[in-house]
């Protein structure tokens, strides 16, 4: 019979939690009812609701140089250091971008680590990602890093089909490897790969309970990174595990006893849910969310770091010193230095994210930009709202374009009823009547506006 005990967090009496033991099954549990490979995966519900439990302190961690680098041409050492500098500036004086993880396999990677360490920044802390071997542990120690990530695949897809082992065998292997890491004095960060297809109560929680015992024994923090490797996680209340992000985080904190500050969510975007799932992990008890710049990562990518900066601000009501203008600087650096062109409608960084073409929207912007702009993008991203001039822009769109392009302030601003705007509008209409189908370029508009100004004898 379970004992009735006082919960010091809620100050309520409750039944002692179940003791979760490893379920060492003979056949893999692949949750075929949820993941029928010949069909679209299913989202099922049992309406078991767990409470919000957002930690007082939440933060972002970065995997741009690890997972992000697995999906593109390798960065040069100089590029890594430059991006690392940007991340430091973006995270602000409170270090809201807490860590950045690096490969250590090549000389180039190690050179980048040394150069980033030479910067002397407290944040982002440089951490590693290695294979589970004594040689790699020693490499981490020799470089002087305090923490490293270790891959510990946890779904039966990986345990039975990839590793060709049983749950008991793989748990014993993982625990022996992590013990070796602790023996070197390194803090392990356990990457629970494919957690959203794992047996949460039959493997994940029993494994994490053993990790907490090791942490008590060695007095060295052991972090848990919950990896939604295939993007199957969902944030819907009442969804069943293993797809339920609230259910996973609740299980880790409540049943496995993992402190929030040692839990980190790592999402992928295969089903367009990376941002929502990362935010949900915060809301239900994970202090960290792991991201990559612009979501660059394997397949459909990781959780975009810049998205979580704005999620943080919306949840906390403050940016806590994060410098969001750096997001625009980073986007420009990626385009100019790395040749990476953002899709034009990508939030916050795409060329058209705050550009309107519709005349009725442009009219609203001309009267008050708050009507059709998500926030003061000029202040937070150094990108004021723009209007692209086309056949649908109307008089208001042209007036807004002229005011912005020529930086006309207050009493110098022109409105949609000015003779200049009417002349330019007539020229624009003629372009499309003659068969044009593309948006007018800035250069074309400048040439026409200059000509119209001469005719009207005005100066902008």
Residue 39 burial by Cβ neighbours in a 10 Å radius (0-12, 13-18, 19+): exposed
Per-residue tokens: 245: 């992000």
Residue spans of the domains in the chain: they are 50-322, 355-456
Assess contact for 320 and 90: CB atoms under 8 A.
Answer: no
The CA–CA distances, whole Å, from 140 to 137, 153, 180, 217, 237 equal 5, 21, 13, 22, 40
Work out the angle at residue 161's Cα, subtended by the Cα atoms of residues 157 and 165, and round it to the nearest 5 degrees. 105
Which of 262, 211, 201, 284 lies closest to 17 in space, CA to CA? 201
What residues does 149 pair with on adjacent strands? 129, 189
The pLDDT profile of the chain, 460 residues, written as one tens digit per residue, is 678 888 777 788 988 767 899 999 999 999 999 999 999 999 999 999 999 999 999 999 999 999 999 999 999 999 999 999 999 999 999 999 999 999 998 899 999 999 999 999 999 999 999 877 778 888 899 999 999 999 999 999 999 999 999 999 999 999 999 999 999 999 999 999 999 999 999 999 999 999 999 999 999 999 999 999 999 999 999 999 999 999 999 999 999 999 999 999 999 999 999 999 999 999 999 999 999 999 999 999 999 999 999 999 999 999 999 999 999 999 999 999 999 999 999 999 998 899 886 656 667 766 788 888 999 999 999 998 887 788 888 898 899 889 888 889 888 999 999 999 999 999 999 999 999 988 888 889 999 999 999 999 998 9
Which of 177, 115, 113, 121 lies closest to 149 in space, CA to CA? 177
Q: Which residue has 């190690």 as its token pair? A: 110
Assess contact for 278 and 312: CB atoms under 8 A.
Answer: no
Number of Cβ within a 10 Å radius of residue 329: 15
Residues in the chain: 460
- CA–CA gap between residue 440 and residue 446 (Å, rounded): 10
Q: Which residue has 């891959």 as its token pair? A: 151
Name the percent of the chain in helix, strand, coil, to the closest 5: 45, 15, 40
The CATH number of 50-322, from 3.40.718.10, 3.20.20.70, 3.40.50.880, 3.30.450.20, is: 3.20.20.70
């Amino acid at each position: 019979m379970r004992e009735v005990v006082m919960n010091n967090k809620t100050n309520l009496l409750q039944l002692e939690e179940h003791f979760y033991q490893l379920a060492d099954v003979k056949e893999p549990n692949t949750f075929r009812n949820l993941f029928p490979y010949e069909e679209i995966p299913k989202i099922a519900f049992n309406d078991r609701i767990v409470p919000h439990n957002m930690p007082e302190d939440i933060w972002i961690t970065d995997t741009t140089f690890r997972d992000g680098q697995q999906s593109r041409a390798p960065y040069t050492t100089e590029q890594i250091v430059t991006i690392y500098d940007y991340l430091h500036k973006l995270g602000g004086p409170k270090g809201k971008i807490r860590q950045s993880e690096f490969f250590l396999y090549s000389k180039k990677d190690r050179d980048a680590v040394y150069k980033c360490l030479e910067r002397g920044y407290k944040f982002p802390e440089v951490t590693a990602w290695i294979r589970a071997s004594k040689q790699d542990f020693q490499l981490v120690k020799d470089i002087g890093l305090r923490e490293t990530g270790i891959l510990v695949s946890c779904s039966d897809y990986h345990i039975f089909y990839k590793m060709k082992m049983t749950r008991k065998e793989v748990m014993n292997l993982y625990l022996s490897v992590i013990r070796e890491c602790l023996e070197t004095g390194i803090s392990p960060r356990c990457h629970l790969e494919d957690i959203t297809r794992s047996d949460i109560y039959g493997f994940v929680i029993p494994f994490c309970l053993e990790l907490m015992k090791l942490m008590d024994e060695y007095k060295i923090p052991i972090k848990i990174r919950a990896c939604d490797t295939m993007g199957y996680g969902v944030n819907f209340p009442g969804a069943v595990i293993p797809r339920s992000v609230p259910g996973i985080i609740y299980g880790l904190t409540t049943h496995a006893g993992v402190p929030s500050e040692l839990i980190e969510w790592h999402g992928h975007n295969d089903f367009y849910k990376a941002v929502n799932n990362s935010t949900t992990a915060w809301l239900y008890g994970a202090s960290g969310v792991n991201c990559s710049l612009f979501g660059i990562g394997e397949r459909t990518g990781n959780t975009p770091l810049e998205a979580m900066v704005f999620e943080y601000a919306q949840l906390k009501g403050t940016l806590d010193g994060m410098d969001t203008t750096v997001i625009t600087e980073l986007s420009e650096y990626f385009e100019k230095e790395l040749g990476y062109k953002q899709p034009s409608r990508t939030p916050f960084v795409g060329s058209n994210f705050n550009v309107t073409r519709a005349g009725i929207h442009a009219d609203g912007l001309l009267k008050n930009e708050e009507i059709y702009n998500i926030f003061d993008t000029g202040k937070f991203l150094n990108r004021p709202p723009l209007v692209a001039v086309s056949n649908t822009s109307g008089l208001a769109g042209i007036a807004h374009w002229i005011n912005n392009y020529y930086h006309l302030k207050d009493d110098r601003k022109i409105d949609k009823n000015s003779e200049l705007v009417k002349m330019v509008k007539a020229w624009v209409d003629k372009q499309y009547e003659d068969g044009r189908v593309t948006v007018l370029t800035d250069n074309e508009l400048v040439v026409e506006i200059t000509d119209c100004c001469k005719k009207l004898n005005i100066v902008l």
